[in-house]
Structure 1
């Protein structure tokens, strides 16, 4: 091989190594990581689409990408918290709930959100969920290590929610600019 060909191959190899090493940390299709468990963008889309299409509506307001992700971040620890306190929301009941509301084949993520909503509703109606319990649950959720894809916003540990935030490098537009 000639010297220019070797240089081109070396540059291409180095470039490929840099590109692939960078891609490993991006994790395509990742909306968030919660204590090492990935919540995918596909799960967020499925929850948004399926829950928003339910008739009658499961929630008072339609899910946005950030609110759907918030529900997924909160669901698992909340379901566990409620189960530990005697409130159980079963998967089979959640599946039937989805079917009753017009979603014939709900995703696992949607079932998890329905279980979360059901457990919260049961706890509230039985008066087993006090303000102190709510504070404790938010603290448990906030203690999780949550990394959010910036496309969805940022995780606010004080509210245990994903909210939109303007990145520090974005400056407000002024008509004079």
Structure 2
């Protein structure tokens, strides 16, 4: 009986961790899912690290920012392709000469950023409309998506939501 009491705490903690992982998007490394495509936490972290290294922005890109950017990037790049303002992988790579082998996620972010800078307001609205139509699930630790406005919200400080029941 004492052994059962001793295990109860660790088992409850493990069950809670598993539930949080599943509630957060199904796997521990899933930051978001967009139209069935997984944005992993590790690729968002790597993209943020590489963007910061390559461009040294005044406000460094953090992982939640990289997650929202990686959610939007394929939609931006698709619209850019449709309107003739798409960028190539080689153009993105040439903008980061100090990175020997940037990750594809980093390349996609750079392409999206360059394309977005060239877009008209009407083309940017096409991006917002694409985001509103997309199936987007975000792990709450990385923020949320407001489908009505097509905008991303920063993660709340306490992203673990407790049930009202019980």
TM-score category of the 2 structures, normalised to the smaller one: 0.7 to 0.9
Distance between the aligned counterparts of 1:48 and 1:168, measured in 2?
A: 24
Tell me the matched-pair count: 143
Distance between the aligned counterparts of 2:83 and 2:53, measured in 1?
A: 31
Alignment of 1:122-133 (within 5 A): 123=118, 129-133=119-123
Distance between the aligned counterparts of 1:112 and 1:118, measured in 2?
A: 10
User: Is 1:138 matched up with 2:108?
Assistant: no
- Shift in Å at residue 64 of structure 1? 1.5
Alignment of 1:24-173 (within 5 A): 26-55=26-55, 57=56, 59-98=57-96, 100=97, 102-121=98-117, 123=118, 129-157=119-147, 158-165=149-156, 166-167=158-159, 169=161
Higher Rg: 1
- Shift in Å at residue 47 of structure 1? 0.7
Contact 2:73 2:109 in 1 (8 A): yes
Corresponding residue SS for 2:31:
strand
Structure 1: runs of 5+ lacking an equivalent: 1-14, 124-128, 171-177
Distance between the aligned counterparts of 1:162 and 1:50, measured in 2?
A: 23
Corresponding residue SS for 2:50:
helix
Length-normalised TM-score, structure 1:
0.70
Q: Residue in 2 aligned with 1:4?
A: none
Length-normalised TM-score, structure 2:
0.74
> Runs ≥4 in structure 1, deviation > 4 angstroms?
21-25, 166-170
